[in-house]
Amino acid sequence: MRLSLSQLPALKADQRPAYQPESHGVGILHIGLGAFHRAHQAAFTDTALGAAGGDWRIASVSLRSVQTVEGLAPQDGLYTLIERGAEGDQARVIAAIAQAIAATQDPEAVLRLMARPEIRVVTLTVTEKAYGIDRTAMDIDADHPAVSADLKAPEAPSGVLGLLVEGLRRRRASGHPPPAILCCDNLPENGVLLCAGVVGFARRIDPDLADWIARTVAFPSSMVDRITPAATDETRARALALTGFDDAAAIETEPFTQWVIEDNFPLGRPAWEEGGAIFVKDVAPFERMKLRMLNGAHSLIAYAGFIAGYRYVRDAMTDPQLAALVDRHIRAAARTVGALPGIDLDSYRQDLITRFANPSIAHETYQIAMDGTQKLPQRILAPAQNALAEGQDIAPYAFATAAWMRYATGRDDQGATYELRDPRAEELAQAVKEAGRDPVALYARFAALPHLFPDALGRNPAFREEVISRLALMLKDGMAAAIAKEAT
């Protein structure tokens, strides 16, 4: 049996939504209908709807793929969220998504929705690389393919900045106040960054609109967290076993979930605190904690683990030496974070170790290894620079950086090649072509790539030496040997 609204009463009480989906209107437009959105913001919204009601269901847009939309549409937007933890699997059907839209099939839908006054919040999970923002200049990256295409045809946009700007232009023309725009991607000060990108894009085509956006649109920052691997056929089989319903859009995730949000929503928002969201004035320290401790360690596991032959994060965590390096990395990252109100960084560290080792979560190292050039700066390089400035140990960052460089050569320890899956893959390949397997040359070329390494870090002799010696060992004796040496 297929999931559908009329079938909801057939679910067990603790598996169905605690509200009547049809009695709640849409209030949120979401861009980026991936697994993470369905495991995180949509689940928080579902809980908020059940506890506090409101017209806060979601119109959710997939920018490129049509697969999720095709899965959700015949089942009225419903899907099964499976939480997999030490106590076993828990399933619940989420009804927060009222409408699923494929932007490639109906590009106007996003713009029409953004003009509508009932859309009071726009949320985004599009990955780091999709924005097209130059983080150093805090402006658009005019060379980003979507940005340059949309600047040529701003009234028919397909990229993130283009869609937001044209949507806001129409909203302004309709005379309604604008929605708050909430970035939920793993980027530092993500609200400030997105604001800079949107205003920068608008400035190129309509300076008056740019001023209006800068003056009236709220861009709250937020820190999001929930480890959510890509769904597989097993996910679907599990959903069927747990609920009795076949679900083409089922997803699985860990029990842990966290959302820290800057409370800046001029037209209101769902009662996300009902799902455990925390509202604060300044999200930046929470973002730093999560990006450096969780995501930084994740990237270390991804690069070192993948080259050492571990397919999943949980497998890498069974290697005592690699696990020790992960722990060392998280401790070092914590030292660059500083005190946080209400958070004990040491228990956060211990929880991370447990979460990474969760035997029920099959999170591929290759998935996390993707888009390294977009992730390294905030996860590894920024804390490395802080550590250097503070006279702290830089070895953990040097090892993680060397592991990324090793991975970026595109060949594992058995000599097998793999696709880099990075928007700057061509530049990386060119660097490798020129440098070969010479660690000094590799470092020189990678560290000199524009907008990647902060200048002061890339040129720092101590950091350079520490990375090169580790990269040399990884290339000569293999990743397993490099891990063993580092852990002793």
| Region of 21-29, 172-180, 220-228, 480-488 interacting with ligand CS2 (CB under 6 A) | 220-228
Instruction: Provide φ and ψ at 48, rounded to 5°.
Output: -65, -40
Piece of 76-84, 118-126, 219-227, 315-323 that binds ligand CS2 (CB under 6 A): 219-227
* Stretch 103-122: interaction string toward ligand CS2, x if CB under 6 A: --------------------
Q: Return the number of the residue (120 or 226) whose C-beta is nearest ligand CS2.
A: 226
Q: What is the nearest approach in angstroms of ligand CS2 to the Cβ of residue 229?
A: 8
Burial level of 1, CB count in 10 A (0-12/13-18/19+)? exposed
Residues in 297-356 that interact with ligand CS2 by CB under 6 A = 298
The yes or no reply on residue 226 touching ligand CS2 (CB under 6 A) is: yes
Query: Would you count residue 38 as binding ligand CS2 (CB under 6 A)?
Result: no
- Smallest distance, ligand CS2 to C-beta of residue 227, A: 4
Q: Report whether 431 contacts 372 (CB < 8 A).
A: no
Minimum distance, C-beta of residue 226 to ligand CS2, in the bound complex (Å): 5
**Nearer to ligand CS2 among residue 252 and residue 466 (C-beta):** 252
Among 368, 382, 457, 467, binds ligand CS2 (CB under 6 A): 368
Binding track, positions 278-297, relative to ligand CS2; x by CB under 6 A: -----------------x--
Q: Would you say 72 and 97 are in contact if contact means Cβ atoms under 8 Å apart?
A: yes
Q: Which is nearer to ligand CS2, 298 or 314 (CB)?
A: 298
Q: For residues 104 and 418, which CB has a smaller minimum distance to ligand CS2 in the complex?
A: 418
What binding mask, one character per residue, do residues 238-267 give for ligand CS2 by CB under 6 A, x or -? ------------------------------
**Backbone torsions φ then ψ of 93, nearest 5 degrees:** -95, 125
How large is the C-alpha radius of gyration of the chain?
Answer: 23
Residue 41 in the binding site for ligand CS2 (CB under 6 A)? no
The answer to whether the beta carbons of residues 68 and 97 sit under 8 Å apart is no
- Minimum CB separation of residue 414 from ligand CS2 in Å reads 24
In the bound state with ligand CS2, the residue whose beta carbon lies nearer, of 148 and 367, is 367
Minimum Å distance from CB 375 to ligand CS2? 6
Residues 180-199: x where in contact with ligand CS2 by CB under 6 A, - otherwise, as a string: ------x-------------
> C-beta of 312: minimal distance to ligand CS2 in Å?
12
- Which one of 29, 72, 227, 420 is in contact with ligand CS2 (CB under 6 A)? 227
Instruction: Name the residue nearer to ligand CS2 (CB basis): 114 or 316.
Output: 316
- Judged by CB under 6 A, the residue of 166, 225, 247, 364 near ligand CS2 is 225
Least distance CB 325 / ligand CS2 (angstroms) = 17
Cβ proximity to ligand CS2, 110 vs 193, nearer residue = 193
Question: 60 with 100: CB under 8 angstroms?
Answer: yes
- Which one of the spans 108-116, 170-178, 331-339, 367-375 is the region binding ligand CS2 (CB under 6 A)? 367-375
Smaller CB separation from ligand CS2, 76 or 225: 225
**Chain positions contacting ligand CS2, by CB under 6 A:** 186, 225-227, 295, 298, 367-368, 375
